[in-house]
A and B are shown apart, each in its own frame.
Chain A
Amino acid sequence: MQCNEKVTYRKPMRLRILPVLSVCIFLGVWQLCVGPADSNDWRIPGTLLSSPYDILSLMFDKLTNPAPDGAVLLEHAWTSMQEAFLGYVLALIVGLPLGLAMGWFTTVRGLVRPIFEIIRPIPPVAWIPLTIFWFGIGLPGKVFIIWLSGIVPCVINTYTGVRMTNPVHIQMARTYGASDWQIFTSICVPSALPMVFGALQIALAYCWVTLVAAELLAADKGLGYLITIGRMLGRTDLVMVGMVSVGIAGAIIGFIIDKIESRLLAGIRR
């Protein structure tokens, strides 16, 4: 126990100070370089870049003040997260079983692979016009775009995971007379699990990135919409509040998934 603590404690000392230092220096330099909107000296005018202080104070203001875009910050964040999670969960529900089945069953691979390979290179953003025709700018349209972007890594990762199954394990199961379905459920799926967890991470990242892109073009609420409104009003600070919020929310989600994954995988891999 003691030994363990020492090992895990020593390294983070440096890792704990340096990140704080780098963030402080970054923010400090940024703050110094940004001047007021009409500044004529070497500093960057506030119309092109907002200072960290301005962004932070606007963020606090936006927590309670719906003007000028019609909703408070948490409302935007909540809308975005709803869309992202809905698309994400739907992508998992369809993508994981599909990828697993494609890895093992030749019929499924033969049927799905060609279509998948053609749809895969189309960027999800390219679907936006069609989506607006079909669903309008409400929730379903954005969920559809996010679903499209999340399903690709789900299928590819789980497919690869199944294909990487140790062939000796499959032979072993065969000699015991296991059916194709038994081999699939008892050998291939457990073998693919680490790759499936990888898919959960990657798909979420894809979903979040696409969400902002989708909202930039078609939305009436959400963090991406906040950025668009900021641009239309010429409010640099509002644009940057949106950007920073997207970054923070994404980091928080990634952190949570990381925690869940390490706990679940610990149970599977020991």
Chain B
Amino acid sequence: MQQTDDCACSDAKIAVRDLTKMYGDLTVLDKVNFTIKRGELVCIVGPTGCGKTTFLNCMSKLTETTSGNIYIDGEVANPRKHNLAFVFQEPTALPWLTVEENVAYGMRIKKVPPKQLRERLDMILEMVGLEDTAKLYPNQVSASMMQRIAVARAFAVNPDLLLMDEPYGQLDVKLRFYLEDELVKLRFYLEDELVKLWQTLKSTVLFVTHNIEEAVYVADRILVLSPKPTKVRAEVVVDLPRPRDFRDPRFVELRRQVTDLIRWW
């Protein structure tokens, strides 16, 4: 299984080849194929229940795949060897560690030398605006800060591949509620922060969301999944300049295009 697939071309950081997952007779993922270039931010959108979480679990090797494989730099992905990071939908800050210790957790597991760990930690904490709350415990900070802890922890390990499972899915309803009339630039505050981290650290990110507007806002490329058995139905390249404006006619057009692709069946 270690052989390099000929499709895993040199500029592709991540190559997914015929990824299939079956639960008994139920085919959840049916020969999913795609590649992600180094430093690319790819979004995955799809109808509810199309197996997005199963897909991410296969990507992160939390679940065994039935067949097919995921290659990182031409090698079969392995969390013990490759640098993977996963931001879950639910809060995963460890309640017994301070904000700072939580952000450093991934680096501790990967045994980053103390000096380098400190430098990266300070840089990341500053970028996500958590320096003031570094010594607090997670139950003393807000829900959006909890999720920023998880995002910061993921970026801190300098991952080969960063997987994000609707990281802001449980927050955006609340944000929208009172931001609708507020300054427009506040609207995707957390997403802006994500883009800033991604641009600065040049990570490769796979971002799963059900929010099409969010996908068009952050992605270089959007993969649209079909309902079960899941395949990659279409690929939409988002070549809008950053920072993006969701009132831009081209933005609206892309959003409509993606929405239609999801509604297609």
Please give the distance in Å from B73's CB to the nearest CB on chain A: 16
Proximity bits, B104-139, A CB within 8 Å = 1, else 0: 011011100000000000000000000000000101
Contact of A173 among B90, B109, B137 (CB under 8 A): B109
User: Are A175 and B110 interface neighbours, CB within 8 A?
Assistant: no
> Which residues from B are CB-within-8-Å of A177?
79-84, 109-110
Task: From known contacts A174-B62, A175-B86, A176-B157, infer whether A270 and B109 are also in contact, taking CB-CB under 8 Å.
Answer: no
Give Cα distance in the complex from A206 to B108, angstroms.
40
Proximity bits, A178-199, B CB within 8 Å = 1, else 0: 1100100011001101000000
Please give the distance in Å from B151's CB to the nearest CB on chain A: 13
Contact of B94 among A169, A175, A176 (CB under 8 A): A169
Say if the beta carbon of A268 comes within 8 Å of chain B: yes
Give Cα distance in the complex from A204 to B137, angstroms.
31
Say if the beta carbon of B209 comes within 8 Å of chain A: no
Say if the beta carbon of A65 comes within 8 Å of chain B: no
Please give the distance in Å from B55's CB to the nearest CB on chain A: 14
**B139, closest chain A residue (CB):** A270
Say if the beta carbon of A262 comes within 8 Å of chain B: no
> Which residues from A are CB-within-8-Å of B157?
176
User: Are B92 and A268 interface neighbours, CB within 8 A?
Assistant: no
Please give the distance in Å from B162's CB to the nearest CB on chain A: 10
User: Are B137 and A175 interface neighbours, CB within 8 A?
Assistant: no
Interface size on A, residues (CB 8 A): 20
User: Are B139 and A176 interface neighbours, CB within 8 A?
Assistant: no
**B89, closest chain A residue (CB):** A168
**B95, closest chain A residue (CB):** A269
Task: From known contacts A186-B105, A270-B137, infer whether A176 and B92 are also in contact, taking CB-CB under 8 Å.
Answer: no
Please give the distance in Å from B101's CB to the nearest CB on chain A: 10
Say if the beta carbon of B85 comes within 8 Å of chain A: yes
Please give the distance in Å from A230's CB to the nearest CB on chain B: 49
User: Are A190 and B92 interface neighbours, CB within 8 A?
Assistant: no
Please give the distance in Å from A194's CB to the nearest CB on chain B: 10
Please give the distance in Å from A26's CB to the nearest CB on chain B: 43
Proximity bits, B50-81, A CB within 8 Å = 1, else 0: 00000000001010000000000000000111
User: Are B84 and A190 interface neighbours, CB within 8 A?
Assistant: no
Say if the beta carbon of B170 comes within 8 Å of chain A: no
User: Are A182 and B109 interface neighbours, CB within 8 A?
Assistant: yes
User: Are B140 and A171 interface neighbours, CB within 8 A?
Assistant: no
User: Are B84 and A172 interface neighbours, CB within 8 A?
Assistant: no
User: Are B96 and A176 interface neighbours, CB within 8 A?
Assistant: no
Contact of A168 among B79, B82, B88 (CB under 8 A): B88
Residue among A172, A178, A190 with the highest chain B CB neighbour number at 10 A: A172
> Which residues from A are CB-within-8-Å of B96?
190-191, 193, 268-269
> Which residues from A are CB-within-8-Å of B80?
177, 179
Task: From known contacts A182-B109, A190-B94, A269-B95, infer whether A172 and B79 are also in contact, taking CB-CB under 8 Å.
Answer: no
User: Are B79 and A174 interface neighbours, CB within 8 A?
Assistant: yes
> Which residues from B are CB-within-8-Å of A178?
109
User: Are A186 and B109 interface neighbours, CB within 8 A?
Assistant: yes
Give Cα distance in the complex from A193 to B137, angstroms.
16
Which residues of B126-163 are within 8 A (CB) of A? 137, 139-140, 150, 157, 163
Give Cα distance in the complex from A178 to B79, angstroms.
8
User: Are B60 and A270 interface neighbours, CB within 8 A?
Assistant: no
Please give the distance in Å from B263's CB to the nearest CB on chain A: 32
Give Cα distance in the complex from A270 to B137, angstroms.
8
Give Cα distance in the complex from A270 to B140, angstroms.
9
**B106, closest chain A residue (CB):** A176
Interface residues of B (CB under 8 A from A): 60, 62, 79-86, 88, 90, 92, 94-96, 105-106, 108-110, 137, 139-140, 150, 157, 163
A sample of 12 cross-chain residue pairs with beta-carbon separation below 8 angstroms, ordered by A number, consists of A168-B90, A168-B92, A171-B86, A174-B79, A175-B62, A175-B86, A175-B163, A176-B84, A187-B94, A268-B96, A269-B96, A270-B139
